[in-house]
Amino acid sequence: MTGADTLFTWDALGTLTGATLFTFLVVLFTKKLLDRLLPGLPTDVYAILVGWAILVLAQIALGAPADDWRLYILSGANGLLVALAAGQMHNKVINPPGSTTTETTTQAVTVTETRPKEGSSDGV
């Protein structure tokens, strides 16, 4: 992923940036479905598994031997890093720097509003 107009490639998915972005997107769009199928699975564990699978598939696609146990162990360790980075990306999307979050809860609805901090020049 060398430019803004470049799509995912197997090389890009093998990098921390590519794997993190793809893990973030996969978890974002599949978590609600997975919650219905496996209601007790924490999102963090799911993100680690997704990151691991993306890294394993990328390495095999790039020519790594699928029967090498080291591939799976190293991808597991890197999958943890990818999941942590994807979680931080999610936090930045939900609570952008320079903003505060106000949450109002009623019996039926929870409304979250993010506004720029007072005195901040980040207002749109």
Q: Tell me the three-class secondary structure of the chain, residue by residue.
A: CCCCCCCCCHHHHCCHHHHHHHHHHHHHHHHHHHHHHCCCCCHHHHHHHHHHHHHHHHHHHCCCCCCCHHHHHHHHHHHHHHHHHHHHHHHHHHCCCCEEEEEEECCCCEEEEEEECCCCCCCC
The dihedral of CA 63, 73, 45, 82: what is its sign? negative
Higher pLDDT, 13 or 65: 65
Residue 124 confidence class, pLDDT cut points 50, 70, 90: very low
- Can you tell me the mean pLDDT for 20-27? 92
pTM recorded for the entire structure: 0.70
Higher pLDDT, 7 or 9: 9
Higher pLDDT, 95 or 70: 70
% pLDDT > 90, the chain = 46
pLDDT at 17: 85
- Can you tell me the mean pLDDT for 106-122? 58
Contact 58, 19 (CB under 8 A): yes
